[in-house]
């Protein structure tokens, strides 16, 4: 009897341990899958039934391929089938009908995904029945400019500082001249602010109770309906709870920011980014509490002191959007560590927290756009990952801060963010390492189509190719 119990306990423990390690790999660090040599690219699923018109095949060969999850293949091939990635790796068999493009000496990486894009063709917010896809301006002059620096998709979201999840958002692809296949997900993120205050917490808890009750009633109704009970009544939907329910069900992510004393706010457009809206330790802890209440992990927006509580965030499976260039000076009167540090990205990623980076916001809120001084942020999306490297982050992982990690944060990593089989064919062909300052995007491909070529567009065609 004793032996049996012991055996059962042992089995259970080993199972848990195995599971934990799997969780750690997947949840916190992205699906890295071990060292590059050990990784064998999974074979793509074969097409079920051959369609009438086979999708075009394009093979980019001989390139250094940065998958986006820190894996790098030398002399590898990326095979695209229509608008999806069909195969990636050093030993890809290229079908005869595929169009082959030799990328010798060039690098291929996933298109950059910027967690907040402003004024790049999509509306900032939509209301009521409106949809982001119907408000896109596919001829927006900034689209090609963004593609020229490697941004292939971005998150657009309304600025929110409510005491409960609200706001509209969408993950948008940059496809100039087209209104098809551009919205990846909408809504992707709902946002709210801390601190809530006692009254805010009371209301939030009441809303969560309400939402839980509704969910239970809905489940009961579904059960009854399935059992054939015609008298079953569908519980009434409360529209004010829609965002909350969506977050609780994991359909959308919850982003929490700090609403501490913005100096002016007009229609939600202008707000203080950078230091004024950064999250201090109490804010971060409160945000994690909110996540716990909802039963959903949270995305912390500009937590300048996250590095101090990195383990707490990791334990709560939280994620961070950091502004490596933005500084919050420590308060000399406080004895505990406080303020921002350039090492934040490195510390958090060591702790297993996915980190996405954005340029420091300044007056117009954090995000990549054509605002600020001459719209510089739009031209330099790789500057912030470089700052993360300067602060000690692994150089390979730094690429993930503008590719895979933001995609995970927005819940779209099943489609974009890395060059994995079955994901969307959004990639960049570069003349050097993606984060090197002398590198230029040669070609940008979105949904399998070439949408930018350096030689054909006015931005950088005068810059001679690197040798």
- Selected binder of another protein within 34, 35, 198, 267 (CB under 8 A): 267
Residues 6+ apart with CB under 8 A from 160: 166, 167, 190, 191, 192, 193, 268
Q: Does 457 bind another protein (CB under 8 A)?
A: yes
Report the greatest alpha carbon distance in the chain: 80
Dihedral Cα 386, 114, 416, 95, nearest 10 deg? -60
Minimum gap (Å) between residue 127 Cβ and another protein? 7
In terms of Cα–Cα distance, which of 212, 409, 188 is closest to 293? 212
Q: How far apart are CA 359 and CA 405, in angstroms?
A: 16
Stretch that binds another protein, among 69-77, 98-106, 128-136, 347-355 (CB under 8 A): 128-136
Q: Does 42 bind another protein (CB under 8 A)?
A: no
Minimum gap (Å) between residue 243 Cβ and another protein? 19
Stretch that binds another protein, among 59-67, 172-180, 207-215, 431-439 (CB under 8 A): 172-180
Instruction: Kindly state the tokens that stand for 224.
Output: 């009854």
- Selected binder of another protein within 21, 24, 139, 466 (CB under 8 A): 139
| 435-449: b (≥16 Cβ within 10 Å) or e | beeebbbbbbbbbbb
Task: Please identify, using beta-carbon distances, which residue of 128 and 332 lies nearer to another protein.
Answer: 128
Q: Does 2 bind another protein (CB under 8 A)?
A: no
Q: Residue 192 in contact with residue 258, Cβ under 8 Å?
A: no
Please state whether beta strands 449-453 and 441-446 pair in parallel, antiparallel, or not at all (unpaired): antiparallel
Stretch that binds another protein, among 10-18, 37-45, 126-134, 349-357 (CB under 8 A): 126-134
Task: Please identify, using beta-carbon distances, which residue of 18 and 460 lies nearer to another protein.
Answer: 460
- Selected binder of another protein within 27, 36, 95, 138 (CB under 8 A): 138
Q: Does 198 bind another protein (CB under 8 A)?
A: no
Neighbour count for residue 226 (Cβ, 10 Å): 9
Site string for another protein, 93-112 (x = CB under 8 A): --------------------
Q: Does 144 bind another protein (CB under 8 A)?
A: yes
Minimum gap (Å) between residue 124 Cβ and another protein? 10
Minimum gap (Å) between residue 457 Cβ and another protein? 7
SS3 240: helix
> Is residue 290 within a helix (H) or strand (E), and if so which, with residue range?
helix 281-294
Burial of 165 (0-12, 13-18, 19+ CB in 10 A): buried
Stretch that binds another protein, among 177-185, 215-223, 289-297, 430-438 (CB under 8 A): 177-185
Q: Does 178 bind another protein (CB under 8 A)?
A: yes
- Selected binder of another protein within 17, 179, 219, 463 (CB under 8 A): 179
Q: Residue 317 in contact with residue 297, Cβ under 8 Å?
A: yes
Q: Does 127 bind another protein (CB under 8 A)?
A: yes
Q: How far apart are CA 403 and CA 44, in angstroms?
A: 22
Tokens 């998150």 sit at which residue?
155
Minimum gap (Å) between residue 121 Cβ and another protein? 8
Q: Does 145 bind another protein (CB under 8 A)?
A: yes
Stretch that binds another protein, among 173-181, 199-207, 336-344, 419-427 (CB under 8 A): 173-181
Q: Does 173 bind another protein (CB under 8 A)?
A: no
Tokens 């030689």 sit at which residue?
455
Stretch that binds another protein, among 35-43, 261-269, 292-300, 415-423 (CB under 8 A): 261-269
Task: Please identify, using beta-carbon distances, which residue of 75 and 461 lies nearer to another protein.
Answer: 461
Task: Please identify, using beta-carbon distances, which residue of 24 and 131 lies nearer to another protein.
Answer: 131
> How many residues at the interface with another protein, by CB under 8 A?
27
What are the CA-CA distances from residue 120 to residues 84, 137, 168, 412, 429 (Å)? Answer: 24, 9, 16, 19, 22
Stretch that binds another protein, among 84-92, 138-146, 349-357, 368-376 (CB under 8 A): 138-146
Instruction: Kindly state the tokens that stand for 81.
Output: 């089938």
Q: Residue 408 in contact with residue 422, Cβ under 8 Å?
A: no
Q: Does 136 bind another protein (CB under 8 A)?
A: yes
SS3 454: coil
Residues that bind another protein (CB under 8 A): 121, 123, 126-131, 134-141, 144-145, 177-179, 266-267, 269, 457-459
């Amino acid at each position: 009897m004793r032996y049996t119990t012991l055996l059962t306990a042992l089995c259970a423990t080993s199972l848990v341990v195995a599971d934990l390690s799997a969780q750690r790999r997947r949840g916190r660090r992205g699906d890295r899958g071990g060292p590059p040599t050990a990784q064998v690219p999974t074979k793509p699923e074969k097409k079920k039934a051959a369609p009438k018109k086979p999708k075009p095949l394009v093979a980019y060969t001989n390139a250094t391929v940065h998958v986006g999850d820190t894996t790098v293949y030398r002399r590898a091939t990326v095979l695209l089938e229509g608008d999806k990635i069909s195969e990636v790796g050093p030993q890809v068999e290229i079908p005869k009908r595929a169009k082959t493009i030799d990328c010798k000496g060039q690098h291929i990486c996933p298109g950059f995904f910027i967690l907040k894009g402003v004024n790049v063709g999509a509306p900032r917010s939509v209301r009521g029945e409106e949809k982001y896809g119907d408000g896109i301006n596919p001829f927006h002059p900034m689209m090609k400019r963004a593609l020229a620096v490697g941004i292939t998709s971005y998150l657009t979201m309304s600025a929110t500082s409510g005491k409960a999840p609200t706001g509209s958002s969408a993950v948008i692809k940059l496809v100039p001249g087209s209104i098809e296949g551009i919205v990846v997900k909408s809504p992707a993120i709902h946002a709210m602010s801390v601190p809530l205050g006692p009254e805010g917490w009371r209301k939030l808890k009441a809303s969560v109770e309400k939402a839980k009750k509704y969910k239970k009633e809905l489940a009961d109704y579904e059960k009854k309906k399935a059992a054939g009970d015609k008298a079953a009544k569908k519980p009434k939907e409360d529209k004010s709870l829609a965002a909350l329910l969506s977050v609780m069900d994991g359909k959308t992510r919850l982003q929490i920011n700090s609403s501490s004393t913005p100096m002016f706010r007009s229609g939600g457009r202008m707000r203080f980014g950078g230091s004024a809206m950064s999250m201090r330790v109490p804010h971060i802890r409160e945000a994690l509490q909110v996540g716990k209440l909802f039963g959903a992990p949270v995305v912390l927006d500009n937590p300048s002191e996250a590095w101090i509580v990195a383990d707490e965030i990791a334990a709560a499976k939280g994620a961070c959007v950091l502004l490596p260039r933005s500084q919050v000076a420590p308060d000399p009167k406080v004895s505990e560590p406080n303020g921002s540090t350039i090492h934040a990205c490195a510390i958090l990623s060591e702790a297993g927290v996915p980190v996405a980076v954005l340029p420091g916001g300044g007056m117009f809120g954090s995000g990549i756009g054509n605002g600020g001084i001459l719209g510089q942020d739009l031209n330099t999306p790789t500057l912030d990952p470089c700052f993360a490297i300067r602060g000690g982050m692994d150089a390979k992982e730094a690429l993930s801060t503008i590719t895979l990690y933001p995609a995970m944060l927005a819940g779209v990593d099943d489609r974009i963010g890395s060059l994995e089989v079955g994901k969307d064919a959004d990639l960049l062909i570069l003349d050097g390492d993606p984060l090197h300052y002398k590198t230029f995007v040669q070609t940008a491909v979105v949904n399998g189509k070439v949408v930018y070529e350096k030689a054909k567009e006015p931005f950088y065609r005068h810059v001679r190719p690197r040798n």
